Structures are given as structure tokens and as C-alpha cells.
């Protein structure tokens, strides 16, 4: 019975060490980076899909586009609004979002994503 206090203290220390990463990160979590849109993207006001969809699903969409172009030779995408777009990273997406460092790279660095787009595509010329 004399060891009861040591056991309780040991359990408290163990629990504190076990949960340390969770409560430490609560106060230090950073917010998502602020993206810089080009003048052309601001003027367009609309992308091929809404902004929330593009934040969540753009990589899946680009993968689907690649597969449809390469395997099925389908080069037109119809958005939810019914408007048709050319299926092209370089000519559709990068036409408005040509500021790779301020648009693409900020989020990819924040999420530690390493997209392979630029293995085949060339970097866009930066236009404001």
C-alpha cells in the first residue's frame, strides 16, 4: 500500500507523455496559406468547378482528365454549370493560374504534397 502514491504519479506522468503531441499541437496549428490569384483568374470569377470542389478534388480531376485524354481521346470537360472546357493542365488551368509559386506551390508545400504534374508538363510562364 505504500507504493500507491508512486503508481498514481507514474500513471499521471505516463498519460501526460502519451497525450503530449495532441495538446501541444492544439495551440500551434497553422492556418492554410492565402493563395494569390492572377488578374485573369480574378476577372474570370469562376473556375471549371466551384472553389470548394477544386480545393478537395483537383488532383483527382486532373488524373481523370489525363486518363480520358490519353486512353479515350476525350478532350472536352463539361462542368456542373454546363459550360465546356478544354481538358488541359497547361492550356486550361495554367492559363488563369500561371503563378505557380504563389498558387500551386503554397498549398502543396503546406500539405507536404509532391505532385508529379511537372514530370511531363513544363512550368508556366508567370503572368500577373
On whether residue 15 sits in a domain, the answer given is no
Domain extent for 115: 39-119
Contact 110, 82 (CB under 8 A): no
Domain count, the chain: 1
Residue 44: C-alpha distances to residues 23, 97, 123 (Å): 43, 11, 22
**Mean pLDDT in runs of 10 for the chain (128 residues)?**
87 94 76 84 88 91 93 94 91 87 88 86 68
On whether residue 78 sits in a domain, the answer given is yes
pTM of the model: 0.68
Q: What pLDDT was estimated at residue 1?
A: 59
On whether residue 55 sits in a domain, the answer given is yes
Amino acid at each position: 500500500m505504500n507504493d500507491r502514491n508512486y503508481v498514481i504519479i507514474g500513471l499521471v506522468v505516463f498519460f501526460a507523455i502519451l497525450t503530449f503531441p495532441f495538446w501541444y499541437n492544439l495551440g500551434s496549428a497553422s492556418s492554410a496559406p492565402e493563395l494569390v490569384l492572377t488578374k485573369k483568374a480574378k476577372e474570370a470569377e469562376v473556375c471549371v468547378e466551384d472553389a470548394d470542389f477544386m480545393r478537395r478534388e483537383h488532383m483527382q480531376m486532373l488524373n481523370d482528365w489525363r486518363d480520358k485524354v490519353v486512353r479515350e481521346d476525350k478532350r472536352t470537360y463539361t462542368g456542373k454549370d454546363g459550360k465546356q472546357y478544354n481538358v488541359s493542365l497547361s492550356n486550361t488551368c495554367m492559363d488563369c493560374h500561371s503563378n505557380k509559386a504563389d498558387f500551386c506551390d503554397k498549398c502543396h508545400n503546406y500539405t507536404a504534397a509532391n505532385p508529379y504534374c511537372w514530370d511531363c508538363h513544363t512550368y508556366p510562364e508567370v503572368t500577373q
